[in-house]
Amino acid sequence: METGLDEKGRKSKNRSHQWILRILLSIYALLYIMIGWDDFLSINVWNIEYSALKILFAIFLIGYAISWKNELAAGVIFILWFLGMCYENFFLCTSDCGAGIAMGIPLLILSIFFIVYGIRKKNVKSGVNP
């Protein structure tokens, strides 16, 4: 038997987890922009490597925008972003190839947390005990 107080505590805990994920993602986004700023501004460079990085940045921005409404979808988008970053680093990269994967690992971990949070949120809404 669950009391209303227990349910309030669970909602408060879920909301704090949601904000922690959003804050960590925002910090990651700022770092991503600061580190990749030179690559994004290189308009004259349209080789396959820089084009892939610009497309991956667009995918990241889409995931960031979606993360405020649908955590589960954002987690999946960020995993796809990480897979794209791995592909870019293994097959397209010509210089500083390990940095993309090393930079992507924190987002991979965040995406797993987004997926877990999204599944828990979905279960709470449907009435299934987490």
> Does the pLDDT at position 1 exceed 50?
no
The residue with greater pLDDT, 85 or 36, is 85
Up-side HSE of residue 42: CA atoms within 13 Å toward CB?
A: 14
pTM equals 0.81
Q: What is the pLDDT of residue 24?
A: 92
Query: What confidence category does residue 13 fall into, taking pLDDT thresholds of 50, 70 and 90?
Result: low
Q: For 98-126, how does the pLDDT look when each residue is reduced to its tens digit (9 = 90+)?
A: 777 888 899 999 999 999 999 988 888 78
- Give the closest residue to 54 by CA, choosing from 68, 75, 33, 74: 33
Q: What is the pLDDT of residue 17?
A: 83
State the CB neighbour count (10 A cutoff) for residue 52: 19
Q: 76 Cβ partners below 8 Å, 6+ apart?
A: 111, 115
Q: What is the pLDDT of residue 10?
A: 59
Q: Where are the domains of the chain?
A: 7-126
Residues 15 and 62: their CA atoms lie apart, in Å, by 22
| DSSP states of 20-85 | HHHHHHHHHHHHHHHHHHHHHH--S--SHHHHHHHHHHHHHHHHHHHHTT-HHHHHHHHHHHHHHH
Question: Distance between terminal CA atoms of the chain?
Answer: 15
Q: For 29-55, how does the pLDDT look when each residue is reduced to its tens digit (9 = 90+)?
A: 999 888 877 766 666 667 788 788 889
> Does the pLDDT at position 67 exceed 90?
yes
- Give the closest residue to 119 by CA, choosing from 80, 84, 73, 61: 73
